[in-house]
Amino acid sequence: MRQLTRIFFTGMIISFLGSLPLGSLNVAAMQISITDGYTQALWFGTGILLIEIIYVRVSLVAMDKIRKHEKILKALEWVTLLIVSALAISSFVAAAKNNVHTKNILLSNSMPRFVLGLFMSAVNPVQIPFWFGWSTVLFTKKILLPRNDHYNIYITGIGLGTFLATCVFIFGGKLVVEKLNTNQHTLHLIIGGIFTATAIIQIWKMLKRKDAVEKIHNIKEEDLHPERKAE
């Protein structure tokens, strides 16, 4: 029981801290909370959470197979770059209109926020090497073992950590905006700047080969299979 508790809190803490840095998903959740309300933002966050849980579960049981499909991950990185760039442009367009009712057309559309969260999270490959790396560390340190009960409690902790971090942006972001009394024009400029910075960082990583595909490629075979290393 103590080991399962340790696995749960380890997954939760890693997920929570890993989700706190500014990124396209949590900034999008913050903007949705500001423009469409907490409920819609929580639906968006639930979509993000579900995809991350699926990715982690698949990565735990199919690490070798995923590493062999680098072209798919590379394509997803380009899709992510296009989406983030479009979000930045939409924010700047909304700011240029200088209308209190103007919203980011990509985030404030007719698509259900849950589905939007699913889609944006599914095409974001950053989380795949992130969990590849951490799961490999936990495997090598014998904290996480290839057992279903370990996988289930690990994923539960990850899900809770991601949800809590998303709530920080959903509730905290809107609270800060309300306290600072920031108008919509300034808000769109700030969020557009954040999305632009995210896109630039993504381009830099891809050019410097520090992207998701490269991180997965650099994971050593013996780290994925520590039991083979011991033989």
Digit-by-digit pLDDT tens for the chain (231 residues) are: 788 899 999 999 999 988 887 777 888 888 888 888 899 999 999 999 999 898 888 877 765 555 555 666 676 677 767 777 877 787 777 767 765 555 555 566 678 889 989 988 887 767 777 787 788 778 878 888 878 888 899 999 999 999 999 999 899 877 777 665 556 667 667 777 777 887 787 777 777 765 544 554 554 444 444 444 444
Q: For residue 228, is it within any domain?
A: no
147 within domain boundaries: yes
Q: Is 143 exposed, middle or buried (0-12, 13-18, 19+ CB in 10 A)?
A: middle
Flag whether 32 is in a domain: yes
Which string of b and e fits 188-225 if b means at least 16 CB within 10 Å? bbbbbebbbebbeebeebbeeeebbbbbbeeeeeebbb
Query: What are 180's two structure tokens?
Result: 């600072």
30 found inside a domain? yes
The predicted model scores a pTM of 0.69
170 found inside a domain = yes
Q: Are 108 and 36 spatial neighbours (Cβ–Cβ below 8 Å)?
A: yes
Cβ contacts of residue 37 below 8 Å, gap of 6+? none
What local confidence, expressed as pLDDT, does residue 198 receive? 74
Q: Has residue 194 been placed in a domain?
A: yes
Work out how many domains the chain is built from and give that number.
Answer: 1
Residue type, 228: R
Tell me how far apart the alpha carbons of residues 152 and 160 are, in angstroms, rounded to a whole number.
12
Give yes or no for a contact between 13 and 89, defined as CB atoms under 8 angstroms apart.
no
Q: What domain range is 33 assigned to?
A: 2-221
In a domain, 229, yes or no: no
**Is residue 133 domain-resident?**
yes
